[in-house]
Amino acid sequence: MRSVLLFAAVALLSILSTAQLPSLMPQPANLKPGSGQLVINQFFTVAITGHKEPRLERTVQIFLADLRKQTGMLPLDVSVVTMPTASLTIHCIAGTKEVQELGEDESYRLEITSSGAKLDAQTTLGVIRGLQTFLQLVQTGSTGFVVPAVSIQDAPRFPWRGLMIDVSRHFMPVEVLKRNLDGMAAVKMNVLHWHLSDNQGFRVESKEFPRLYELGSDKLFYLQDEIRDVIAYARERGIRVVPEFDMPGHASAWFVGYPELASGPGPYQIERHWGIFDPAMDPTRESTYKFLDEFIGEMAKLFPDQFFHIGGDEVNGKEWDANPKIQEFKRAHSLRSNEDLQAYFNKHVQTIVAKHGKTMLGWDEILRPELPKDIVIQSWRGPESLAQAAKQGYRGLLSHGYYLDLMWSTQRHYLNEPISGDATTLTPEQQKLILGGEACMWAEFVSPENIDSRIWPRNAVIAERLWSPQNVTDVQSMYQRMEVIGHRLDWLGLTHNSGYAPMLRRIAGTDDISATQTLADALEPVKDYSREKLALEPPTSATPLDRLIDAARPESEIVRKFTSNVDDFLGGNRNPGVEAEIRRQLGVWHTNHAALQPLFGNSFLLQEVQAVSQNLSRISAAGLAALEYIDQGQPAPTDWLSQQLTLLADAQKPQAQLLLVVAPAIEKLIRAASLQK
C-alpha cells in the first residue's frame, strides 16, 4: 500500500506546480488537485459529525483562531455548528488517548470542492494534522480567501517527529516555547523534547529537592504549574512533551545544591562555559539511586508522557578516575571501563524509570546489551549507531544531521535521511524500529531574541523529511515552499522574520539599517563548532548575543539566489535578465562598504565587521570585472585571475566568526572569465 501512495505523490508533484496549488510543507503523501475552489469568508462554519470529545472541539477553536490570524477576519460565531451545510465538516471515528501515545493514528483525508470541505480522520490527532493542511491551503484569491479544490490522503512516514530545545544553556521563557509549539504544530511535528538540565542550569521546580532549582538555575526555571501549562498547550496541538534530565554527566547544576550526588569533593558551581566537563554523578552510592528514585518519581508525575530521557551523553570519566572509592567499586564489581560503569548506572536508572511507569530514552552512548529492548536510542553521533541499535532490536531516533545550532544549509538538513547508510541494509522489521528523528536546538549561542531564527524556517524541512514519503526530495521545490511557509509562520507570532530588523538597528546604532542589512544578508555564521573555536576568549553564559553573527541567518536566501543565478548564467543562460540581476546585486554589494563607512565609528558592534564589509565590496568589484571580461568574450589575463583568487581566498576566511558566503559564486564568475575564448 505504501508504494502505491508514494507513486501517486511523485506523479502529482509536477501537477502541483502547474495547478498553482499553495505551498504545503510537509508535502502530503497523496494529493490530487481538483477543479474550482472553496471561498472562505466571515460566514465560514465548521460542523463535527461522528465521535465527539472536548479535545476535538478545542481543536476546532484553535483552528478558527489560526484562521482568523491568517485572514484578518473576525467571525463572531466561533461555535461549532451541526448544520449539514457547514463549510467544513469534520468526521472523526474515535477519541484520543488521555495521554498522547507514540504511534497513535495521525492519518487524515481532506476533500475540498467548491461547495465544501470534508475532513475525515480516525482520531482527533488526524483532525489536528488535517486542519493544518487546510490552513496552509488558504490563500488570498481573486474573489476572496480561497482553498483550491483538492483531494488529500495523508499519513506520516515516521511516528516520532520532534524538536529538542535546550533551555539549560540559555533559559527560554514559556512564551518562547509556546510560539515554537505553534510552529511545530503547523508543520505536523509531534514531540517537544525539553532538555531541562545541564551543567549550565537546572530549570524545573522540584518540591522534593528544592535546592536543584534554587541554587542551580540563577532563578531562571519553570514552576511546576508552568510545566503543566506548556504540556497542556502542546497536547492541544497534538504534541507530546518528553523531558530530559541529563545524567550522570552534564549535571554540574544539580551538584550546586546537592554536592553529595557527585563523584568529586565539591563544592560545585553552575558552569558558565560551554563544552564537556568533569562533574558526574557517583554511580557507586546507593544514596544516588535513592535520590534519583524520588526525583524521577516526582518528575514522572509531572510529565505524563510515556518516555523519560536520561541524557547519558559525554561522560568523560575524569571524576570517576580521580575517586579512589569509585575505582575500588569498579574493581569489586568487575567493571573494566568507565563505559562499563556508566552502563551499570544506566541499568539502575532504567529500573527506576521503569518502576515509575516510564520508558527510558537516552543519547546513543547508553546503547549497551545490559539494557532491556524497550528503551529508545537517540543518535547524535551518526546514522550508524541507529542501524546498530536496530540490529540489536532497539528503537532509535535520528538527530545526527538535524542539529540546528550548527548553522548548516537547509538543503543539508533536508537530505539527511533516517533510512540511509547502514540502515538501508536493515530488514523491514528492523527499519520499523527507526521511529523518526528530532531536530536539536542546542542553546550555547541563542537567546529568546534569536532562537526562532535558528529554528525557523529550517525546522520545517526536517518536519517534511520525517512526515512525507521518502522520495520527496526536490530541493528546489523545498526552498520555494519553505520560503512561503516561513512567512506564514509570522501569523503565529514566531519572530524569525520580525526580530531581524530590531537586531540590525541595535547593531547599526541607528534606525537606517539598509547598508547593515545588505551586509548581514551576504553573510552567514561560521558552521559546526567553529564559533567557539574562533572566539577571542572562551564564550560563557554571560557573553552577549547581540553581534552580527547573532542576527545573520544560518543560510542567506539572497546569496542562495545569487549563486543560483550565477550557476544559471554560467550554465549557458545568457538571458539578459539573469546577467542584469547578477550585475545589480554585485553593484549593491560593491558600493555597500562606502555606505556603511559612516556607521563604523558609532557602533562597537559594527566595528568587528569592517574587514568583512570591505572584502564584500572588493570581491564584488572582482565579480563585476569578471562579467566585463565575459561580456567582451575575452579571456581575463592570468595575472588578474591569480590576483582575484588570492583576494577571494582571503575573503573566505572567517571574520568576526562570519563567512562571506557569496565568495564561491564570485569565484565561479572569475574562473569563467579566465576561460573565455
| Binding-site member from 27, 30, 59, 71 for its own copies (CB under 8 A) | 71
Distances in Å between the alpha carbon of 224 and those of 206, 227, 292, 602? Answer: 8, 5, 18, 45
Residue count of the chain: 677
Nearer to its own copies, 35 or 41 (CB): 41
Residue 487 touching its own copies (CB under 8 A): yes
The DSSP bridge partners found for residue 376 are 361, 395
Residue 140 touching its own copies (CB under 8 A): yes
Residue 17 touching its own copies (CB under 8 A): no
| Binding-site member from 104, 111, 214, 218 for its own copies (CB under 8 A) | 218
| Binding-site member from 316, 392, 591, 603 for its own copies (CB under 8 A) | 603
Residues 249-288 that bind its own copies (CB under 8 A): 272
Neighbours of 436 (CB within 10 A): 23
Shortest distance, position 283 Cβ to its own copies, whole Å: 30
Shortest distance, position 427 Cβ to its own copies, whole Å: 45
Residue 32 to residue 13: CA distance in whole angstroms: 10
Selecting among 104, 226, 236, 314, the annotated active-site residue is: 314
Residue 69 to residue 623: CA distance in whole angstroms: 44
Neighbours of 173 (CB within 10 A): 12
Helix, strand, or coil (residue 432)? coil
Residue 602 touching its own copies (CB under 8 A): yes
DSSP 240-257: EEEEEEEESSS-HHHHHH
Shortest distance, position 359 Cβ to its own copies, whole Å: 36
Residue 470 touching its own copies (CB under 8 A): no
Draw the binding track, 410-449, toward its own copies (x: CB under 8 A; -: no contact). Answer: -------------------------------------x-x
Which contiguous run of DSSP H or E holds residue 191? Answer: strand 191-198
Residues 25-64 that bind its own copies (CB under 8 A): 41-42
Residue 219 touching its own copies (CB under 8 A): yes
Residue 536 touching its own copies (CB under 8 A): no
DSSP 547-610: SHHHHS-SS-HHHHHHHHHHHHHHTT---HHHHHHHHHHHHHHHHHHHHHHHHHTT-HHHHTTH
> Which 8-state DSSP code applies to residue 57?
H
Please answer whether residues 477 and 461 qualify as being in contact, where contact means their C-beta atoms are separated by less than 8 angstroms. Answer: no
Amino acid at 306: Q
Shortest distance, position 596 Cβ to its own copies, whole Å: 14
Buried b (16+ CB within 10 A) or exposed e, 442-475: bbbbbeebbbbbbbbbbbbbbbbbbbbbeebebe
Shortest distance, position 189 Cβ to its own copies, whole Å: 22
Total residues interacting with its own copies, rule: CB under 8 A: 54
Residue 610 touching its own copies (CB under 8 A): no
Nearer to its own copies, 122 or 556 (CB): 556
Residue 76 to residue 638: CA distance in whole angstroms: 72
| Binding-site member from 260, 483, 528, 631 for its own copies (CB under 8 A) | 483
Shortest distance, position 75 Cβ to its own copies, whole Å: 6
Helix, strand, or coil (residue 297)? helix
Residue 139 touching its own copies (CB under 8 A): yes
- Tell me, yes or no, if 314 is annotated catalytic: yes
Residue 382 touching its own copies (CB under 8 A): no
Residue 72 touching its own copies (CB under 8 A): yes
Residue 225 touching its own copies (CB under 8 A): no
Interacting span for its own copies (CB under 8 A) from 4-12, 136-144, 223-231, 633-641: 136-144
Scanning 415-534, the segments in alpha helix (DSSP H) are: 428-431, 451-455, 458-467, 475-488, 500-508, 514-521, 530-533
Interacting span for its own copies (CB under 8 A) from 47-55, 109-117, 295-303, 499-507: 499-507
Work out the burial of residue 600: count CB atoms within 10 Å of its CB; fewer than 13 is exposed, 13-18 middle, 19 or more buried: middle
Residues with catalytic function: 314
Binding site for its own copies (CB under 8 A): 41-42, 69-79, 139-144, 170, 218-219, 272, 447, 449, 483-484, 487, 490-491, 497-498, 501-503, 505-509, 511, 541-546, 550, 601-605, 607
